Structure 1
Amino acid sequence: MLDRYNYIPLYIQLKNELVEKIKNGIWKVGDKIPTEKELMDEYNVGRATVREALSKLVNEGYLYKKQGIGTFVARTQPSLGFEPLISLTYSLNARGINPKNIPVENIKMAPDKATLKRLKWKSQYDCYYIKRIRYAENIPIAVEESYFSTEYGNIGEKFDLTGSFAKMILKDLNLNIKKVEQVIVPRVPSIKEREILNINEDTLVLDLERWIYIQDKNEPFYYLNFIIPENIYMINL
């Protein structure tokens, strides 16, 4: 059911509801879906809300339209590139949620042995360390620590640290990703994390580590440590 008091826009909530029908097999590939009027009546929303939700689903490849006939299910998974898999900014924007990234630390550093092990670097060389607090609609939702190889210059000076790092890697630097490794572990948040994320001690966080490898390199170019409350991990990171 749609929640009119939720900060997520109604058309995004409706889109998510319709996606679930596709993924759960209620609407199968090739099926004609209900008309706009039928969806308006079923979900008690206006025509603009239905049209916006359907437009999103067409753009993501779930649905296709036949002029004068109707709208049909095209696939059970979205047709997306690499960026949505590694970008919180992309995922929030796709849901109509305004993201904001606040850098709180930006330094060039020589990693110690423990950090080198986390980075999966065999050699000792400097890196750029950037810490940010991630927000959705001005609500803090994640603590992010990023480590970049210095090979492509001073990341902190060359690029906008309030923007999407995934976009920076894929489009601004135009790097070709070879593989992504990721580990997610649930745990109890630290006192500092609870303060930043405004959560209580009963709320678990997910501790995500991600290593991004680019073509022709054997060691990760980018290491990410991402802390997000478990109850909002429905967002595709």
Structure 2
Amino acid sequence: MRVPVYIQIHNRIKKEIESGKWAVGERIPSERKLAEDFDVSRMTLRQAIQTLVDEGILQRQVGSGTYVASSKVQEKMSGTTSFTEITEGQGKKPSSKTVSYHIADPSMSEMEKLKLEDGDQVLRMERIRYADDQPICFEVTTIPTTIVSNLGKEDITSSLYKALEDKAGLRLGDATQTVSAMLSSEKIANLLKVKRGSAILRVRQVTTLDDGRPFEYVRSQYAGDRFEFYLER
């Protein structure tokens, strides 16, 4: 399967960052310049850049440009968050809308997070999560195809964890999450019905099975004025 052009550009930029071409905190060239360098359209280049921003590799500064992200101070938090459980706990009805759902070759970041090998493929799906029909979160989930080969689309999009346990006979293990702040892109603003540049909570999560195998890499963006995390220690 041919790797989408924006993923190819994503991988090349990520390699250049890792090789030290651009240092942490350094501004990368403009989208126009990069599009010319990679001989792709501005739209394709912008999609690659946005994917790197979503992954926390790059960060945008309004009116200034795009920079190589610096490492964040992290605090280990107890427990993981479940959008469905949190929403129901607030007395609201959770629902979701699938924006895209397809089999694809993984990006470098997905290969690293899910410990994949060359030739492995993934299921990548994008969903909008709602509480009482109000959009709360845009979510990109990547799963190795070997994990869900015997599950149907309805099983995966409605309740992946339950389907894995009840139908695939797999047991869930641990999850790690990182939470950071960012400003909404035009795409996210449209999907979540907020103003472009509004505050967004970005959450990245890798979930494993009980044998330690990572089976899910999720990148979520929550509308900052509609959602907050509460952790009890």
Tell me the amino acid that sits aligned with residue 232 of structure 1.
R
For residues 104-152 of structure 1, what are the alpha-carbon distances to aligned partners after superposition, in whole Å with 9 as ceiling and x for unaligned?
Answer: 11111111324423x3425221111111111111111110111112223
Is 1:222 aligned with 2:216? yes
Deviation at 1:192, TM superposition (A): 0.8
Is 1:127 aligned with 2:136? no
Q: State the identity %.
A: 20
Structure 1 residues 178 and 157, CA gap change in structure 2 (3 angstroms): closer
Tell me the amino acid that sits aligned with residue 226 of structure 1.
S
- Distance in 2 (alpha carbons) for counterparts of 1:144 and 1:155: 23
Deviation at 1:215, TM superposition (A): 2.1
The answer to whether the Cα contact below 8 Å between 2:136 and 2:227 also exists between their aligned partners in 1 is: no
Matching residue within 89, 92, 99 for 2:87: 92
Structure 1 residues 177 and 111, CA gap change in structure 2 (3 angstroms): same
Is 1:233 aligned with 2:219? no
Tell me the amino acid that sits aligned with residue 144 of structure 2.
S
Tell me the amino acid that sits aligned with residue 103 of structure 2.
K
Matching residue within 192, 195, 198 for 1:197: 192
Deviation at 1:161, TM superposition (A): 4.6
Structure 1 residues 155 and 210, CA gap change in structure 2 (3 angstroms): farther
- Distance in 2 (alpha carbons) for counterparts of 1:174 and 1:92: 27
Tell me the amino acid that sits aligned with residue 218 of structure 2.
L
The answer to whether the Cα contact below 8 Å between 2:122 and 2:145 also exists between their aligned partners in 1 is: yes
Q: Corresponding residue for 2:208?
A: 213
Find the residue that maps to 1:164 and give its secondary structure.
Answer: helix
Tell me the amino acid that sits aligned with residue 152 of structure 2.
E
Q: How does 1:33-44 map to 2 (within 5 A)?
A: none
Deviation at 1:158, TM superposition (A): 5.0
TM-score (norm 2): 0.57
Q: Corresponding residue for 1:187?
A: 182
Structure 1 residues 195 and 113, CA gap change in structure 2 (3 angstroms): same
Pick which of 154-163 and 177-186 moved more: 154-163
Find the residue that maps to 1:180 and give its secondary structure.
Answer: strand
Larger Rg: 1
Q: Corresponding residue for 1:139?
A: 134
Pick which of 156-165 and 132-141 moved more: 156-165
TM-score (norm 1): 0.56
Matching residue within 111, 129, 135 for 2:106: 111
For residues 74-106 of structure 1, what are the alpha-carbon distances to aligned partners after superposition, in whole Å with 9 as ceiling and x for unaligned?
Answer: xxxxxxxx9x94421122122220111111111
- What is the aligned residue count? 153
For residues 36-68 of structure 1, what are the alpha-carbon distances to aligned partners after superposition, in whole Å with 9 as ceiling and x for unaligned?
Answer: xxxxxxxxxxxxxxxxxxxxxxxxxxxxxxxxx
5+ residue gaps, structure 1, are: 1-81
- Distance in 2 (alpha carbons) for counterparts of 1:187 and 1:209: 13
Deviation at 1:174, TM superposition (A): 4.3
Q: How does 1:5-154 map to 2 (within 5 A)?
A: 85-117=80-112, 119-124=113-118, 125-154=120-149
User: Moved runs in structure 1, 4+ residues, more than 6 A?
Assistant: none
Deviation at 1:223, TM superposition (A): 0.7
- Distance in 2 (alpha carbons) for counterparts of 1:148 and 1:122: 10
Is 1:176 aligned with 2:171? yes
The answer to whether the Cα contact below 8 Å between 2:129 and 2:136 also exists between their aligned partners in 1 is: yes
Structure 1 residues 91 and 220, CA gap change in structure 2 (3 angstroms): same
Give the root-mean-square deviation of aligned CA atoms: 2.7
